[in-house]
Amino acid sequence: SIINRATDPAGLNLTFDFIVVGGGTAGNVIANRLTEDKDSSVLVIEAGGSNEDVLNIIVPWFCIRATPDTPQDWNYTTTPQDGLGGRSVPYPRGFVLGGSSSVNSMDYTRGSKDDYARFARVSGDDGWSWDRLIPYMRKNERFSPPIGNTTEVFNPAVHGFHGINTVSMPAFPQGTDTRVIDTAKELKEFNIDMNSGEPLGIGWVQTTIKNGSRSSSATSYLGPQYIGRPNLHVMLNTLVTRVLQSDAGVFQTVEFAPSSGGSTRFRATATKEIILSAGSIGTPHILMNSGIGDSRELSTIGIASVHNLPSVGKNLTDHPIVRLSWLVNSTDTFDDANRNATLAAEELMQWNATRTGLLVDSVSNQIGWLRLPDDSPVLQGVPDPSAGPLSAHFELLFENGIVGTPPPTGHYLSMSAAVVSPSARGSVTLNSTDPFSSPVIDPNLLGAALDVAILRTAVRTIQSFILGPAWSYYIIAPISLNDTASDAEVDAYTQANTGSLFHPIGTAAMSAVTADYGVVNPDLKVKGLSGLRVVDASVLPFIPAAHTQAAVYIFAERAADFIKEEFGITVSELQV
Ligand SMILES: Cc1cc2nc3c(=O)[nH]c(=O)nc-3n(C[C@H](O)[C@H](O)[C@H](O)COP(=O)(O)OP(=O)(O)OC[C@H]3O[C@@H](n4cnc5c(N)ncnc54)[C@H](O)[C@@H]3O)c2cc1C
């Protein structure tokens, strides 16, 4: 059942077996899996509202309108970033059921086998390795193959076809598709399926889209066949302010308030466990408000320490991204649909009527994952920041126009470059005891010289990519960065134009049981406490060289099994 607000919970029984804080990507996986057992009651508390009937988060193409500065966004901004010349940049997070899976760009990329080998290595738990996680990848994924000739576009052997969350391939052809794929093949970089654990190369993107509409954790894991379970309760528009200990180190109580603000506080009890799934910003925010964090830092702002855990909020890692565009000799781009209201209305009518046309896809049909050569001067004398030889240093995204609002005339090509094995680390801290005030978010984008150098190499790679024969007579002129720009000019451009790819992780990081750092153990329980587990992007100790939602879903699927095992939950009567 859905409870729409926290204002009058007096009539409700507020004791549950489990309370999931945050109905986002990971939280809804946990809620679904635990309520498979009809005897386990679960309350999900979500700060945002319903995902239903919000066109911008249903129509895939409108993901570009879903954030920033919308009612479905927490509307965070970073601190001034040294690596970006002192600029602050938007830092969107989903403020809606489904969390960031409801507002993201839907790219579904698991990362490499080496990314997961590193998770296993740092946690000391081989269960986090790629091979051991394959069953959980398949539990998450319901791959929906494209119609027609599919021999050269994906590898069925590496996909799950019976999971919950639909993953599909671009359904609307873009004018640049053939050019990108031809160039990739010519460079011997074509990768038929980058979700095989060996993602290096350039190929078709896979996205969380089902029949032309977004598949989020809200539409999938809380879909119509699950949301009616009598043991599943979802409270919307409700902000968790703190978790409270009953006995020393034992957590069973969640304190919450209407998201609209005010001083009223309510409490609910979890007799078995509280699962924090509030995301890489929300989870450390709640932990620190609850007195769980660096006790010296917390005392300076007047929060009494409950449990000294200095790693809370540290290790924030994210992917910096920059876009380049060119004027092109074609009218077959998506620019007209982005600037011509009549055309845009026609596209929406078509989507409404038949779930076809431009709006059924996200904005990039192809992605590339590339490494610097081993002998690159950039890597000399410094440790390789990637997880291993299967992981990319940088990513390329290909767009058949200008995303957002293009200039009034002309047609364009864009390519974006992102550092996906960054060295810089940032933090989430507090400067107020008010749970309604935003935390201080410093992702430290381009805060390491190596990240700047990797991004420069990525820009150079884009510039040489378009020298291939598929692009002759196509590109007219660069409109952002000159093709002849010096290294210093490239660096000045990236400093002035880079933003976040919105992939923060690591702020409640998993570490080995014996480690003297970290926030959660390999079973994702908070170190030194009982009754409190974290399941969301914040537990990833390193950022995968991939967009992050797939890893979050996979971690959450395994975490659900940890919880079931701990509480002896066998699925007595499987509810569909
Ligand atoms: C604009 C954008 C584009 C992105 N594009 C992609 C992409 O294309 N592909 C990809 O793989 N990844 C993408 N990502 C990243 C990906 O979506 C996230 O890594 C992933 O969804 C994070 O999952 P999570 O469960 O950790 O957090 P979330 O899904 O953000 O869930 C956290 C939930 O907790 C709630 N919450 C937070 N604090 C509280 C509180 N105090 N009380 C109650 N509820 C609370 C939030 O409202 C939210 O619903 C994108 C992210 C954004 C924002």
pLDDT tens-digit series, residues 342-377 = 999 999 999 999 999 999 999 999 999 999 999 999
Mean pLDDT, range 275-288, rounded to an integer:
98
Query: Are 498 and 84 spatial neighbours (Cβ–Cβ below 8 Å)?
Result: yes
Please report the pLDDT score of residue 167 as a whole number. Answer: 98
pLDDT grade for 9, boundaries at 50, 70 and 90: low
Residue located nearest, by CA, to atom 23 of ligand 1: 25
Please report the pLDDT score of residue 11 as a whole number. Answer: 59
Residue located nearest, by CA, to atom 52 of ligand 1: 104
Of 21, 25, 141, 219, which is best to mutate to test ligand 1, by the most ligand atoms within 8 angstroms of its C-beta? 25
Residue 573 reports pLDDT greater than 60: no
Range list of H helices, 260-409: 279-289, 295-300, 335-339, 341-354
Superfamily of domain 2-52+224-316+506-566: FAD/NAD(P)-binding domain (3.50.50.60)
Q: Is the CB of 46 under 6 A from ligand 1?
A: yes
Mean pLDDT, range 556-567, rounded to an integer:
97
Residue located nearest, by CA, to atom 53 of ligand 1: 93
Chain segment 292-307, per-residue pLDDT in tens:
999 999 999 999 999 9
Residue 8, judged by CB atoms within 10 A of its CB (0-12, 13-18, 19+), counts as exposed
| Cα 63 to ligand 1 centre (Å) | 14
Chain segment 429-472, per-residue pLDDT in tens:
999 999 999 999 999 999 999 999 999 999 999 999 999 999 99
* 504 Rama sector, left if φ>0, alpha if ψ -120 to 50, beta otherwise: beta
Residue 527 and residue 518: Cα distance in Å, rounded?
A: 8
Residue 446 and residue 96: Cα distance in Å, rounded?
A: 30
Q: Which of 218, 222, 216 is nearest to 105 (CA)?
A: 216
Residue 450 and residue 467: Cα distance in Å, rounded?
A: 26
Residue 82 reports pLDDT greater than 80: yes
* Identity of the residue numbered 51: N
Mean pLDDT, range 251-273, rounded to an integer:
95
| Cα 382 to ligand 1 centre (Å) | 32
* Token pair of 298 as six digits: 């917390």
Which SS3 state, helix, strand or coil, does residue 452 take? helix
**Residue in the block written with tokens 């002192």:** 86
Q: Is the CB of 22 under 6 A from ligand 1?
A: yes
Share of the chain above pLDDT 90, in %: 94
Of 20, 69, 100, 316, which is best to mutate to test ligand 1, by the most ligand atoms within 8 angstroms of its C-beta? 100
Q: Is the CB of 504 under 6 A from ligand 1?
A: no
Please report the pLDDT score of residue 6 as a whole number. Answer: 64
Please report the pLDDT score of residue 576 as a whole number. Answer: 42
Q: Is the CB of 196 under 6 A from ligand 1?
A: no
Q: Output phi, psi for 488, to 5 deg.
A: -65, -40
Beta strands in 39-130 (DSSP E): 42-45, 76-77, 90-91
Chain segment 116-141, per-residue pLDDT in tens:
999 999 999 999 999 999 999 999 99
Chain segment 153-178, per-residue pLDDT in tens:
899 999 999 999 999 999 999 999 99
Chain segment 477-532, per-residue pLDDT in tens:
999 999 999 999 999 999 999 999 999 999 999 999 999 999 999 999 999 999 99
Mean pLDDT in the chain? 95
Please report the pLDDT score of residue 148 as a whole number. Answer: 73
| Cα 99 to ligand 1 centre (Å) | 5
Report residue 132 CA to chain centroid gap.
22
Please report the pLDDT score of residue 12 as a whole number. Answer: 65
Residue located nearest, by CA, to atom 18 of ligand 1: 549
Mean pLDDT, range 61-76, rounded to an integer:
97
| Cα 262 to ligand 1 centre (Å) | 25
Please report the pLDDT score of residue 474 as a whole number. Answer: 97
Query: Are 414 and 401 spatial neighbours (Cβ–Cβ below 8 Å)?
Result: yes
Collect all residues with Cβ–Cβ distance below 8 Å to 86 and sequence separation of at least 6: 80
pLDDT grade for 147, boundaries at 50, 70 and 90: confident
Q: Which of 245, 208, 178 is nearest to 468 (CA)?
A: 178
Q: Provide the pairing of β-strand 412-419 with 475-478.
A: unpaired
More confident residue, 3 or 180: 180
Residue located nearest, by CA, to atom 17 of ligand 1: 100
Q: Which of 321, 556, 549, 297 is nearest to 443 (CA)?
A: 321
Residue 3 and residue 84: Cα distance in Å, rounded?
A: 42
Domain range list for the chain: 2-52+224-316+506-566
Chain segment 531-546, per-residue pLDDT in tens:
999 999 999 999 999 9
Helix (H) or strand (E) holding 292: strand 292-293
Q: Is the CB of 519 under 6 A from ligand 1?
A: no
Chain segment 10-21, per-residue pLDDT in tens:
556 689 999 999
The CA radius of gyration of the chain, in Å to the nearest whole number, is 23
| Cα 456 to ligand 1 centre (Å) | 29
* Token pair of 244 as six digits: 């409270």
Residue located nearest, by CA, to atom 35 of ligand 1: 22
